[in-house]
Amino acid sequence: MRDLAPRLPSSPGFWRSPLRGPWFTSVLGLVLLAGITVLFVTGLLSYAAYNPGLSPVNDKTPDKGILGFYLFAWPTGPTWLYRLTQGVHVTLGLTLIPVLLAKLWSVVPRLFTLPPARSVAHALERISLLLLVGGALFEFATGVLNIQLDYLFPGSFYPLHFYGAWVFFAAFVAHAVLKTPKALRNLRAMRAERGADTDGARGADTDGARGEEADDLVSPRPAPPTVSRRGALWFVGGGSLLMFATNAGRSFDGPLRATAVLSPHGGPEPGNGPNGFQINKTAAHVGIDPAETRDDAWRLVVTGRAGTLRLSRADLLAMEQHSAALPIACVEGWSTSDQWWRGVRLRDLAARAGFEEDPPDVFVESLQRSGAFRSGALRANQVADPRALLALSVNGEALSPDHGYPARIIVPAAPGVLNTKWVARMTFGNLG
């Protein structure tokens, strides 16, 4: 006879919620199966959008090996592409937090099962579960920390979140392959039973709980219910809705952004006027010396086949000026609507550097002396796009110091991080 006394979490009688059982776990599991698949795909897309294969400066995970098998040249259109993929990645991730927590709660008795392993196969299954649970918590935790104003996690976010995602996903695929058929069977069985109930063939039952007795998640001595399973699902869904409603707004401007009360970079626009849109890091924060940005001091150093040019802001303003309506879309998930940028085309600068036809890749460096985002490499397709600019003004006014005065990069569909501010140097070709 098994010990049913609730002494230890490993005792079968310890966990008493009548909500636990295959139906509850299966519903949450299927929601996560769909949601996490989207998170994984949009995450991989975001990684590709950074151009990690293009130059060591873009590559935060140089040891990725075959995990970079799928990398491709990120396109320059539609212009809102990264705004969409990364907005979905971050907002969906936040929205799924209550579902993830509920799912872990629903299977928590299994974490305490004794003996820890009954066989080699059982040991393997439990190790994969550990990677699955640990990996999920790790990915959600690093993701949430990275969208805070001051990143708190020890170490660089990129390798942690990237390798963590692959470890998690390997366990996730194994788990999904093993469990999806069972989850679907559970749901079908419950539905069939409910159908039988309405025929009046058997006595009334709630939420299709019958037939679950054999499952190890079902408590052998359940406490009286305080809420139905359906009610519990509504509660989880309500939590998700709350996360969505308090975060999604930062992918928009104006009154909608003000609804993003739980998000840094949500809230009101910083200031009014042409430069009054979201700022990632201010000039003061990254240590830009205003003296270096003055028109008499600042020169853009452009290097290419034609040697080295030094261009003042007046020289750049004397070149043909072009406009493009493009958003800023950050890896943190926030974005702005289209701003009206004006300046010199990157491909015209490439031509000045000696690449009249077929513009090459370019390596861009900022006045900023340190920090991960002081430089970035743009691919040839990005340089060639006629909407890709070295912007001198935005919305009809010179760039503000915080938006990158004297000049910044703006590339359609690219992640914000590639739109280098306070540009000092551009090297065309030979990225090494």
Ligand X SMILES: Nc1nc2c(c(=O)[nH]1)N[C@H]1C(S)=C(S)[C@@H](COP(=O)(O)O)O[C@H]1N2
Give the number of residues in contact with ligand X, rule: CB under 6 A.
19
Q: Tell me which residue has its CB nearest to Mo ion.
A: 330
SS3 for 392? strand
Residues in region 374-413 near ligand X by CB under 6 A: 374, 403
Instruction: By CB under 6 A, tell whether 26 contacts ligand X.
Output: no
| Of positions 422, 424, 426, 428, contacts ligand X by CB under 6 A | 422
Give the 3-state secondary structure of residue 322: strand
Touching ligand X, residues 330-369 (CB under 6 A): 330, 366, 368
- Segment interacting with Mo ion (CB under 5 A) among 91-99, 158-166, 329-337, 339-347: 329-337
Residue for token digits 């692959």? 166
Determine if 236 is a binding residue for ligand X (CB under 6 A). no
By the rule CB under 5 A, 330 interacts with Mo ion: yes
Nearer to Mo ion, 109 or 416 (CB): 416
By CB under 6 A, residue 416 contacts ligand X = yes
Task: Give yes or no for residue 421 binding ligand X (CB under 6 A).
Answer: yes
Give the list of residues 6+ apart from residue 359 with CB closer than 8 angstroms, or none.
346, 347, 350, 351, 380, 383, 384, 428
Residues 6+ apart with CB under 8 A from 26: 182, 183, 184, 186, 187
Q: Which of residues 248-307 bind ligand X (CB under 6 A)?
A: 278-281, 286
Q: What is the DSSP letter of 300?
A: E
Exposed (0-12), middle (13-18) or buried (19+): which is 145, by Cβ within 10 Å?
Answer: middle
**What is the chain's Cα-based Rg?**
27
Residue 98 makes contact with ligand X by CB under 6 A: no
Beta bridge partners of 363: 377, 427
d(CA 223, CA 232): 15
Please report, as residue ranges, which positions from 389 to 428 form the binding site for Mo ion (by CB under 5 A).
Answer: 416-417
x/- mask, Mo ion, residues 357-376, rule CB under 5 A, reads --------------------
CB 9 within 8 Å of CB 15: yes
Q: Decide whether 247 or 280 has the Cβ nearer to Mo ion.
A: 280
Contact status: 96 vs ligand X (CB under 6 A): no
3-state SS class at 126:
helix
* 300 vs 330 by CB, closer to Mo ion: 330
Q: Which residues lie near Mo ion (CB under 5 A)?
A: 280, 330, 416-417
Q: Which residues lie near ligand X (CB under 6 A)?
A: 278-281, 286, 328, 330, 366, 368, 371, 373-374, 403, 416-417, 419-422
